[in-house]
């Protein structure tokens, strides 16, 4: 892995002009020239970019070269591939593939942006005629040339291991000859600009950019608009079944919307949002079974590994069953997503958010957002404490389930109002809350899994008796895990219910001191 430096020059700069930048310092040897298509691959939510990676592929016919860049370290590696890159394993099991796989997780790679490019390669040589820097000149233009300044030239200097001084000299030569400065990921950023795209548009968390003086109504409207945008942007991925996270993010946006409507009270009149609340509940309900099936299938290898080898064949029947059910559930969801009910929900909701008439505004609508945010966040926090402190060894599972829901609502509130919170406090609180949520989530997952497996085992006629035995083993595993999570609950809750957590909540919205529960 070596350093990379990129420069963007406006217009079409001939390669012969670029060669002149290095005269007197390096000899230049022209390499191949070719036309290619440059594609930037990433997950839908730009996980690679956010983790510091840029994955680009230049294809010529069937042949391609994947460039893997780390924008934080400046390192790069080039990997030849045959055909279009679709999966990380096509990178051939290199260390970089393993690094990227860890970042990508469950998401699929998609071509986020692409442009045709004319590439010229130049080798910069030292006195021994040894290549010390690779220089790649790319002349780009958007296909439809919609933007007047869409034509640009990118000069990329690729350093060779052990020749960093030469790379710095070459970069300085370009900078002084063109009066430009090098930019991190310049080609990616310029490509996105030319295509009129942005990099952060699919982030699931609502990043609200409003001043603290904004009203609660403006804030609420911004949160919900952002969430409905997320829902709509994930629709295509659900329909095309690109990966399971499109449905997951869609459902999270629905859940956050429901939570905002239910918890940030008084901004809208209750009767004005009753229909939306129930319709979003419906949307959450109809998408739930497919998500449950996805979770089973995503963790199937782990489930398989958790039962005795003798029962592995029996699990195949269960796997076939899940896949069959998933096809049916997908059909059902696609019908809903294409249906009138969903579309009128999205359309009406957008209209409502854009211009809620005065008759829909509640008493808190005109208040500045900070006291409203503080009131509702602290109310849910107190509820979490109250519910958690009541739980003992004989409490029913429902008590933990209710606490889990409250924790989720509290987490969403922290995320909705992050820009208003004291820097650092929100992060600490989210981390502490997450640890509690993980425990409650584990317990809930096990409870749901036990019930689902039990129902599946009873309601389906299995060809092999081993399948029922395997399901029984899975139920036992889930029971054991659930018991362990339950036993760990008090420790987790106690490390959340501390004086220091209370202090962080007190100072979360630093304007005024809050009396602690």
Number of residues that bind other proteins (CB under 8 A): 11
Interaction between residue 130 and other proteins (CB under 8 A): yes
Binder among 114, 131, 272, 430 for other proteins (CB under 8 A)? 131
Interaction between residue 455 and other proteins (CB under 8 A): no
The smaller minimum CB distance to other proteins, of residues 89 and 515, is found at: 89
In the complex, the smallest distance separating the C-beta of residue 131 from other proteins, rounded to whole angstroms, is: 5
3 state SS of 112: strand
Burial of 88 (0-12, 13-18, 19+ CB in 10 A): buried
In the complex, the smallest distance separating the C-beta of residue 125 from other proteins, rounded to whole angstroms, is: 9
In the complex, the smallest distance separating the C-beta of residue 26 from other proteins, rounded to whole angstroms, is: 14
DSSP sequence for 404-467: HHHHHHHHHHHHHTGGGSPTTHHHHHHHHHHHHHHHHHHHHHHHHHHHHHHHHHHHS--S-HHH
In the complex, the smallest distance separating the C-beta of residue 37 from other proteins, rounded to whole angstroms, is: 23
Cα distance between residue 393 and residue 375, in whole Å:
32
Q: Determine the interface stretch with other proteins among 123-131, 216-224, 418-426, 490-498 (rule: CB under 8 A).
A: 123-131
Q: Which two tokens stand for residue 412?
A: 């969403």
Cα distance between residue 242 and residue 138, in whole Å:
31
In the complex, the smallest distance separating the C-beta of residue 161 from other proteins, rounded to whole angstroms, is: 4
Quick one: DSSP state of residue 334? H
In the complex, the smallest distance separating the C-beta of residue 59 from other proteins, rounded to whole angstroms, is: 19
Interaction between residue 73 and other proteins (CB under 8 A): no
Q: Determine the interface stretch with other proteins among 129-137, 348-356, 414-422, 495-503 (rule: CB under 8 A).
A: 129-137
Q: Determine the interface stretch with other proteins among 14-22, 159-167, 385-393, 468-476 (rule: CB under 8 A).
A: 159-167
Binder among 11, 82, 128, 271 for other proteins (CB under 8 A)? 128
Binder among 65, 81, 103, 160 for other proteins (CB under 8 A)? 160
Q: Could you tell me if 417 and 375 are in contact, meaning their C-beta atoms sit under 8 angstroms apart?
A: no
The smaller minimum CB distance to other proteins, of residues 129 and 398, is found at: 129
In the complex, the smallest distance separating the C-beta of residue 28 from other proteins, rounded to whole angstroms, is: 15
Interaction between residue 162 and other proteins (CB under 8 A): yes
Cα distance between residue 202 and residue 384, in whole Å:
30
164-193 binders of other proteins (CB under 8 A): none
The smaller minimum CB distance to other proteins, of residues 133 and 171, is found at: 133
In the complex, the smallest distance separating the C-beta of residue 470 from other proteins, rounded to whole angstroms, is: 37
Site map (CB under 8 A) of other proteins, residues 75-114, x = contact: -----------------x--x-------------------
Contacts of 278 (CB under 8 A, 6+ apart): none
Q: At what angle do helices 425-459 and 397-416 cross, to 10 degrees?
A: 140
The smaller minimum CB distance to other proteins, of residues 53 and 163, is found at: 163
Q: How many CB atoms lie within 10 A of CB 486?
A: 20
How far from 342 is each of 8, 213, 247, 333, CA to CA, in Å?
45, 34, 15, 11
251-280 binders of other proteins (CB under 8 A): none
Q: Determine the interface stretch with other proteins among 127-135, 387-395, 399-407, 500-508 (rule: CB under 8 A).
A: 127-135
Cα distance between residue 408 and residue 434, in whole Å:
9
The smaller minimum CB distance to other proteins, of residues 1 and 210, is found at: 1
The smaller minimum CB distance to other proteins, of residues 128 and 144, is found at: 128
* CB contact burial 55-74 (16+ within 10 A = b; e otherwise): bbbbbeeeebbbbbbbbeeb
Cα distance between residue 197 and residue 203, in whole Å:
14
313-372 binders of other proteins (CB under 8 A): none
In the complex, the smallest distance separating the C-beta of residue 128 from other proteins, rounded to whole angstroms, is: 4
Q: Could you tell me if 296 and 322 are in contact, meaning their C-beta atoms sit under 8 angstroms apart?
A: yes
Q: Determine the interface stretch with other proteins among 39-47, 158-166, 466-474, 489-497 (rule: CB under 8 A).
A: 158-166
In the complex, the smallest distance separating the C-beta of residue 94 from other proteins, rounded to whole angstroms, is: 9
Cα distance between residue 454 and residue 451, in whole Å:
5
Binder among 24, 32, 129, 179 for other proteins (CB under 8 A)? 129
Q: Could you tell me if 280 and 227 are in contact, meaning their C-beta atoms sit under 8 angstroms apart?
A: no
Q: Could you tell me if 475 and 307 are in contact, meaning their C-beta atoms sit under 8 angstroms apart?
A: no
Q: Determine the interface stretch with other proteins among 8-16, 36-44, 128-136, 402-410 (rule: CB under 8 A).
A: 128-136
Cα distance between residue 497 and residue 222, in whole Å:
32
Contacts of 443 (CB under 8 A, 6+ apart): 397, 400, 404, 482, 485, 486, 489
Interaction between residue 476 and other proteins (CB under 8 A): no
Q: At what angle do helices 245-263 and 270-298 cross, to 10 degrees?
A: 150
Q: Determine the interface stretch with other proteins among 126-134, 206-214, 339-347, 496-504 (rule: CB under 8 A).
A: 126-134
Binder among 163, 280, 489, 509 for other proteins (CB under 8 A)? 163
Binding site for other proteins (CB under 8 A): 2, 92, 95, 128-131, 160-163
């Amino acid at each position: 892995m070596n350093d990379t430096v990129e420069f963007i020059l406006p217009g079409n700069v001939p390669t012969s002009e670029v060669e002149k930048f290095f005269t007197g310092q390096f000899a230049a040897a022209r390499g191949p020239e070719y036309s290619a298509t440059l594609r930037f691959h990433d997950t839908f939510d730009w996980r690679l970019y956010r983790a510091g990676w840029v994955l680009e592929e230049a294809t010529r016919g069937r042949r391609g070269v994947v460039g893997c860049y780390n924008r934080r370290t400046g390192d790069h590696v080039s990997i030849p591939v045959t055909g279009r890159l679709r999966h990380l394993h096509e990178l051939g099991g290199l260390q970089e593939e393993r690094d990227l796989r860890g970042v990508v997780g469950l998401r699929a790679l998609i071509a986020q942006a692409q442009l045709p490019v004319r590439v010229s390669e130049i080798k910069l040589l030292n006195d021994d005629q040894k290549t010390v820097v690779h220089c790649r000149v790319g002349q780009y233009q958007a296909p439809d040339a919609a933007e007047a300044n869409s034509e640009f030239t990118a000069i990329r200097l690729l350093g060779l291991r052990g020749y960093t001084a030469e790379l710095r000299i070459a970069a300085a030569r370009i900078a002084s000859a063109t009066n430009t400065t090098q930019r991190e990921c310049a080609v990616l950023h310029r490509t996105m600009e030319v295509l009129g795209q942005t990099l952060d548009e699919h982030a699931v968390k609502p990043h609200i950019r409003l001043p603290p003086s904004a009203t609660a109504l403006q804030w609420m409207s911004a949160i919900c608009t952002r969430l409905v945008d997320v829902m709509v942007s994930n629709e295509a991925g659900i329909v095309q079944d690109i990966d399971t996270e499109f449905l997951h993010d869609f459902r999270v946006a629905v859940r956050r919307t429901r939570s905002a409507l239910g918890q940030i009270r008084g901004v809208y009149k209750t009767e004005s949002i009753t229909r939306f609340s129930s319709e979003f509940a419906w949307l959450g309900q109809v998408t739930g079974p497919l998500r449950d099936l996805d979770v089973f299938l995503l963790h199937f290898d782990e489930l398989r590994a958790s039962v005795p080898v003798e029962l592995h064949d029996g699990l195949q029947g269960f796997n076939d069953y899940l896949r069959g059910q998933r096809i049916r559930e997908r059909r059902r969801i696609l019908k809903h997503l294409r249906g009138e009910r969903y579309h009128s929900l999205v359309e009406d909701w957008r209209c409502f958010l854009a211009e809620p008439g005065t008759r829909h505004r509640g008493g808190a609508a005109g208040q500045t957002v900070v006291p409203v945010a503080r009131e509702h966040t602290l109310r849910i926090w107190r509820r979490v404490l109250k519910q958690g402190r009541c739980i003992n060894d004989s409490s029913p599972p429902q008590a933990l389930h209710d606490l889990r829901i409250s924790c989720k609502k509290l987490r969403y509130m922290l995320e909705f109002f992050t820009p208003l919170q004291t820097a650092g406090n929100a992060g600490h609180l989210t981390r502490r809350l997450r640890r509690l949520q993980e425990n409650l989530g584990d317990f809930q997952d096990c409870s749901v899994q036990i019930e689902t497996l039990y129902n599946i085992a009873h309601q389906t006629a299995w060809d092999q008796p081993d399948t029922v035995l395997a399901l029984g083993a899975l139920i036992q595993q889930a029971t054991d895990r659930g018991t362990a999570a339950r036993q760990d609950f008090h420790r987790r809750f106690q490390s959340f219910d501390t004086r220091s957590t209370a202090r962080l909540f007190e100072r979360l919205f630093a304007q005024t001191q809050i009396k602690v529960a």
